[in-house]
Amino acid sequence: MQRFADCCRTLTTELANCRIRGVTVTTFGVDGALVDERGKLLYPIISWKCPRTAEVMKNIDRLLSPQRLQDISGVGAFGFNTLYKLVWLKENHPQLLEQAHDSVKYPHLFIFAMSFVWQYFRYDSSFCDPYASSIWCNYKLDEPSFIFYTMEQQASIIADYWLLNKYGMTEYEELSTYREYDRFQINPKMGLLMEYESVLNAHIRHSKL
């Protein structure tokens, strides 16, 4: 995460004369992490470059033959495969697998964390690794402006809005900390999206001034 922040800082300087309208981050899903039912990280992310899984892959035949594994999964033998991370965690931190929650949407956690990178460049240079230190915060969508929320609340609002817009009420109710809405309206998702957009759009308009 720090390397990503450093990269953004360098690009911001080099593109100082440009009007940046958005930033897109693309990756492939081989960095692995365990989170609990509220999305809190249980153990630091195991990067796809991390060498600790090399030994697991080398000795995977003690659990299952490599050929059989490939027949089942259709995936070749690569050290960054999720299976090797899970085996390593099971052998070194088995209690974490018991605490892990498999229904958490990892992009939700990622967007929450990336909101702190955005805040770092706009407001606060005391940025630290959000995966290690930040927590989800309760909030109400009743403030007159986005700036009245704490940094943690802002990150939660951004991530929850994305979650609701991308998925729907089932995932939203499972993961979001916001509960102050009318569940009995005809279209609760649409009503909630309008509440979020009211808060966020006001901040976007203010930022462009």
Task: Render pLDDT for 145-192 as a digit per residue (tens, 0 to 9).
Answer: 888 888 888 888 998 998 898 888 888 887 787 877 777 777 888 989
Mean pLDDT (whole number) for 3-7? 76
* Most confidently predicted of 116-130, 136-150, 172-186: 136-150
pLDDT in tens, 21-32: 777 766 565 667
Q: What is the DSSP letter of 19?
A: -
Q: Which of 47, 29, 36 shows the shortest CA–CA distance to 96?
A: 36
**What is the domain partition of the chain in residue ranges?**
29-101, 105-208
With contact defined as beta carbons under 8 Å apart, do 100 and 35 qualify?
Answer: yes
The confidence score (pLDDT) of residue 135 equals: 59
Alpha helix stretches (DSSP H) within the chain: 2-14, 52-58, 66-73, 82-92, 94-99, 106-122, 130-133, 151-166, 169-175, 188-208
Which tokens hold the place of 166?
């991308």
Burial class (CB in 10 A: 0-12, 13-18, 19+), 190: exposed
Residue corresponding to tokens 């390397």:
3
Q: How far apart are CA 165 and CA 189, in angstroms?
A: 8
How far apart are the C-alpha atoms of 105 and 193, rounded to whole Å? 19
Burial tier of 176 (Cβ tally within 10 Å: 0-12, 13-18, 19+): buried
Distance, in Å, from the CA atom of 84 to the CA atom of 77, rounded to the nearest integer, reads: 10
* Nearest residue to 145 (alpha-carbon basis) of 84, 206, 187: 206
85 vs 69: CA distance, rounded Å: 15
Confidence of residue 122 (pLDDT cuts 50, 70, 90): low
Question: What residue has token string 């995460």?
Answer: 1
Structure tokens at 172: 């939203």
